[in-house]
DNA sequence: TCTGGGGTCCTATGCCGA
DNA sequence: TCTGTCGGCATAGGACCC
């Protein structure tokens, strides 16, 4: 048995915890670079504003309805997420953190009534963090997701919906009412294709023959069908596996033309990616760099290039990775374009212990280099990202992302601590 | 002016050698 | 020796998730 616990409108709710005046008002949180609305309060959803709507396209409506927009404050959200997850861990030893704002709990080892447990979880999280959560409980993950959807949509559930507590008639009705697009694993493309085949609701999909679904669609959708029928196919992953690839990319706050500025950005992204790499104690066997113009500016000349290079030896060393990345950049950079985004990807990740040495390569003393990286990580952890960095990362980052309405880091910066009673 | 970032998994495809 | 087939593998690209 699984519970899916999901924070309602997570980023918006985090902002509201520290600014209660936002309660009841239409609030959005924007993506990096203040691009699109990625979290919407219920008031905003009621205005019909879609997920990922570009902010510049909703400016007018926003002004009309007094929508308050925040830049993403990941330091705040990550910290609040950690608090929620550690509270949830108290309720079940089996926990899979699925994303920043949701997790699955395994309930098999828990004897008590599941809905009651759900209610207690909800109240505890609300009381200890100020964040509202909804909970879906079911024998498969896909059904738990579906129940979570119901718990959010219908207030009569009071935030907790358990599949087994719905009578047969209700289950039937739900299946006939909910459209396939709401199902976990069915996105926009698949919805269109399924609709063409006469499959519109959850009930339709459940009735379909799993073998046929596998042939015509994929093994993934076949599993979804089985899970909707109550047969678990997707296990709880309570130990998070190491990442197989690490990506760091950003859209620029303003267009970039020079190779020099691109090199600063790429260098900055490599450093960030390499930090993540070392945190999971991996080394990368290959690295890719990409740069591109803004595809939305259709009148501008477009250019987009992505090149992957194998490394002569797997590495977790920022200096070495930076050297390789800048070498790639030199080969893909073409002058005369307005670049909007760049990124670095680390691939072929493997444990950084026992890396096969290279007979003919001369390299820096690996122990010294490891110490250097470790020291940089330590300093940057303590004093803030980028405190210590390579000169190639530059100083005047004209390309830095826009964050025009960033809230304080209420919980992670001493200077930003909220003051009570003022 | 202004359209996110970071992942995973699956499938199709083409190449290689047996 | 030539040709066809098949499995394994690498790769690119698409779809999906939040």
Q: Note whether A342 and A262 are within 8 A (CB).
A: yes
In which residue ranges of chain A is pLDDT below 50? none
Beta-bridge partners for A355: none
- As a rounded value in angstroms, the CA-to-C1' distance for A308 and B10 is 21
- As a rounded value in angstroms, the CA-to-C1' distance for A30 and C10 is 38
Nucleotide nearest to A6 in CA–C1' terms: C18
- As a rounded value in angstroms, the CA-to-C1' distance for A35 and C2 is 61
In angstroms, the CA A53 to CA A313 distance is 43
Task: Enter the DSSP assignment of A244.
Answer: S
pLDDT tens, position by position, A252-289: 999 999 999 999 999 999 999 999 999 989 999 889 99
pLDDT number for residue A159? 96
Answer yes or no: do A117 and A145 share one domain: yes
Residue A192, domain CATH: 1.10.150.20
Any atom of strand C under 7 A from CB of A8? no
Instruction: Count Cβ neighbours within 10 Å for each residue of A25-46 and write b for 16 or more, e otherwise.
Output: ebbbbbbbbbbbbbbbbebbee
Answer yes or no: do A198 and A297 share one domain: no
- Bases along strand C below 7 A from a protein CB: 12, 14-18
- As a rounded value in angstroms, the CA-to-C1' distance for A180 and C18 is 18
Does a structural domain hold residue A224? yes
User: In 3-state terms, what secondary structure has residue A321?
Assistant: helix
**Dihedral angle sign, alpha carbons of residues A198, A204, A209, A211:** positive
pLDDT number for residue A4? 96
- As a rounded value in angstroms, the CA-to-C1' distance for A227 and B9 is 18
Does a structural domain hold residue A414? no
Considering only CA atoms, which of A376, A359, A304 is closest in space to residue A334?
A304
Residues 6+ apart with CB under 8 A from A365: none
- As a rounded value in angstroms, the CA-to-C1' distance for A346 and B5 is 15
**Nearest residue (CA) to C1' of C18:** A99
pLDDT number for residue A112? 94
Nucleotide nearest to A345 in CA–C1' terms: B6
- Bases along strand B below 7 A from a protein CB: 1-11
Q: Note whether A246 and A349 are within 8 A (CB).
A: yes
Determine which helix (DSSP H) or strand (DSSP E) holds A150, and give its type and residue range.
helix A141-153
Any atom of strand C under 7 A from CB of A191? yes
Residue A339, domain CATH: 3.30.1490.100
Answer yes or no: do A259 and A333 share one domain: yes
Answer yes or no: do A191 and A321 share one domain: no
Answer yes or no: do A198 and A342 share one domain: no
Answer yes or no: do A92 and A126 share one domain: yes
Domain that holds residue A211: 167-228
Rg of chain A's alpha carbons, rounded to an integer?
A: 24
pLDDT number for residue A160? 97
Answer yes or no: do A29 and A113 share one domain: yes
pLDDT number for residue A152? 93
- As a rounded value in angstroms, the CA-to-C1' distance for A350 and B2 is 40
How many domains does chain A fold into?
Answer: 3
Residues 6+ apart with CB under 8 A from A125: A5, A7, A84, A87, A88, A131, A133
Does a structural domain hold residue A238? no
Does a structural domain hold residue A19? yes
Does a structural domain hold residue A292? yes
**Nearest residue (CA) to C1' of C11:** A308
Any atom of strand C under 7 A from CB of A189? yes
pLDDT number for residue A422? 57
Answer yes or no: do A6 and A152 share one domain: yes
- As a rounded value in angstroms, the CA-to-C1' distance for A245 and C17 is 16
Other Cβ atoms closer than 10 A to A143: 25
């Amino acid at each position: 048995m699984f519970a899916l616990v999901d924070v309602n409108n997570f980023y918006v709710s985090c902002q509201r915890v520290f600014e209660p005046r936002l309660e009841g008002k239409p609030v959005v949180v924007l993506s990096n670079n203040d691009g699109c609305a990625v979290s919407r309060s219920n008031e905003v959803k009621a205005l019909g504003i879609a997920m990922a709507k570009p902010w510049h396209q909703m400016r007018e409506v926003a002004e009309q309805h007094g929508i308050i927009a925040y830049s993403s404050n990941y330091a705040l959200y990550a910290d609040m997420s950690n608090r929620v997850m550690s509270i949830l861990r108290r309720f079940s030893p089996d926990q899979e953190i699925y994303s920043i704002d949701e997790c699955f709990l395994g309930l098999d080892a828990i004897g008590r009534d599941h809905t009651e447990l759900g209610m207690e979880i909800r109240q505890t999280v609300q009381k200890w963090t100020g964040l509202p959560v909804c909970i879906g409980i079911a024998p498969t993950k896909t059904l738990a997701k579906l129940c979570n959807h119901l718990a959010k949509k219908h207030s009569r559930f009071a935030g907790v919906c358990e599949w087994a507590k719905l009578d047969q008639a209700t289950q039937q009705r739900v299946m006939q009412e909910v459209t396939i697009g709401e199902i976990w694993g069915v996105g926009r493309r698949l919805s269109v294709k399924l609709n063409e085949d006469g499959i519109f609701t959850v009930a339709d999909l459940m009735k379909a023959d799993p073998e046929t679904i596998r042939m015509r669609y994929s093994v993934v959708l076949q599993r979804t069908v089985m899970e909707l029928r109550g047969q678990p196919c997707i296990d709880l992953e309570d130990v998070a596996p190491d990442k197989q690839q690490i990506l760091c990319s950003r859209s620029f706050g303003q267009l970039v033309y020079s190779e020099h500025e691109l090199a600063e950005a790429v260098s900055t992204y490599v450093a960030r990616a390499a930090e993540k790499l070392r945190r999971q104690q991996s080394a990368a066997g290959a690295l890719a760099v990409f740069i591109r113009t803004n595809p939305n500016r259709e009148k501008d000349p477009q250019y987009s290039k992505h090149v992957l290079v194998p490394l002569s030896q797997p590495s977790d060393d920022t200096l070495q990775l930076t050297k390789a990345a800048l070498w790639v950049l030199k080969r893909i950079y073409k002058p005369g374009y307005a670049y909007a985004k760049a990124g670095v990807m680390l691939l072929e990740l493997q444990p950084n212990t026992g890396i096969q040495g290279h007979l003919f390569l001369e390299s820096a003393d690996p122990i010294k280099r490891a110490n250097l990286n470790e020291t940089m990580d330590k300093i940057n952890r303590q004093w803030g990202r980028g405190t210590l960095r390579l000169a190639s990362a530059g100083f005047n980052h004209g390309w830095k992302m826009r964050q025009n309405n960033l809230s304080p880091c209420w919980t992670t910066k001493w200077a930003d601590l909220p003051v009570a009673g003022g």
